[in-house]
Amino acid sequence: MIPAAVDYVRADSVEAAIAALVEHGDEAKLLAGGQSLLPLMRLRLATPTVLVDVGRATDLAGISVEGDTVSIGALTTHSTLEHSAELAVACPLLAHVASVVGDPAVRHRGTLGGSVAHADPASDLPAAVLALGGTLVVAGPGGTREVAATDFFTGFLESVLGVDEVLTEVRVPVSTGGWAYQKFNRRAQDWAIVGVVVAEGGAGVSLVNMASTPMRATAVEAAVAGGASATDAAAGAADGTEPPTDNQADGAYREHLARVLTARALTAAGR
């Protein structure tokens, strides 16, 4: 629980952060809310030699709605999402998912960009962005690029982010159709054993903790598109998954949960 020595650099802007990342390469880690990185460092499971703190990069915060798109700065905290009046109207699913992340202390420090960039398949928000068909804005030394959420996650705690890139913004479409999030866990503060996000009445369905990345439940989406009932559509919820085994659940039980929770989520979303 005692982290190894680490150097600290504060970057007050995206440009400064990119410059620091270019200088230190893969020895450096970006620090935003610190709710995932700092515990890993305390356990010495992560031992970066430089922390680039973007916590004060004010150009990375804020929620705005323009036309059909909600743009959210990467440093926006879960608590801000949870309580945002704009988001409650434009994308209530995302506000709700943010409200069930960890506990209040985590939600006050943790950020949307940090959660997505950490790419934890057990996290709630990456799956929500995936179900919503979101887009991620990434800045690097060569400029800015946009990545579809479906292309972003590449492996366990891995994404397409380069070592010198910063996730600056998360964009999701305005989404007011039927939605639900079924988060199954044993304590309120825990990661989901399995989670199922349903957006737009089942047009977008994603799974938490069912593979090495957050994933779309494409078989369910196809069944819904084909007019299947909630129960029938949910039968394919575990298709193509590779669920992990841990203290809480083995793969077979996770697959069972995915089907049960998907049926419940689709029903709650008005399917």
The nearer residue to another protein, 3 or 140, going by C-beta atoms, is 3
Chosen residue from 1, 8, 66, 85 binding another protein by CB under 8 A: 1
The nearer residue to another protein, 163 or 260, going by C-beta atoms, is 260
Stretch that binds another protein, among 30-38, 161-169, 208-216, 256-264 (CB under 8 A): 256-264
The helix or strand, by DSSP H or E, that contains position 155, with its residue range, turns out to be strand 153-155
Stretch that binds another protein, among 56-64, 147-155, 179-187, 231-239 (CB under 8 A): 179-187
Chosen residue from 2, 67, 226, 227 binding another protein by CB under 8 A: 2
Ramachandran angles phi, psi of 69, nearest 5°: -120, 135
The nearer residue to another protein, 187 or 227, going by C-beta atoms, is 187
Least distance (Å) from another protein to the CB of residue 24?
21
Question: Can you count the helices (H) and strands (E) in the chain?
Answer: 12, 14
The nearer residue to another protein, 121 or 133, going by C-beta atoms, is 121
Stretch that binds another protein, among 26-34, 51-59, 85-93, 188-196 (CB under 8 A): 188-196
The nearer residue to another protein, 5 or 85, going by C-beta atoms, is 5
* Separation of first and last alpha carbons in the chain: 47
Number of residues that bind another protein (CB under 8 A): 24
| 4 touching another protein, by CB under 8 A | yes
Least distance (Å) from another protein to the CB of residue 10?
21
Ramachandran angles phi, psi of 10, nearest 5°: -100, 130
Three-state SS for 230?
Answer: helix
The nearer residue to another protein, 177 or 251, going by C-beta atoms, is 251
| 43 touching another protein, by CB under 8 A | yes
Chosen residue from 154, 156, 189, 225 binding another protein by CB under 8 A: 189
- Compose the 67-106 pattern: x for residues touching another protein by CB under 8 A, - for all others: ------------------------------------x---
Among 176, 87, 75, 174, which residue's Cα sits nearest to residue 116? 75
Please give the Cα distance from 259 to 231 (Å, whole number). 8
| 260 touching another protein, by CB under 8 A | yes
Interface residues toward another protein, by CB under 8 A: 1-2, 4-5, 43-44, 103, 184, 186-191, 193, 247-250, 253, 256-257, 260-261
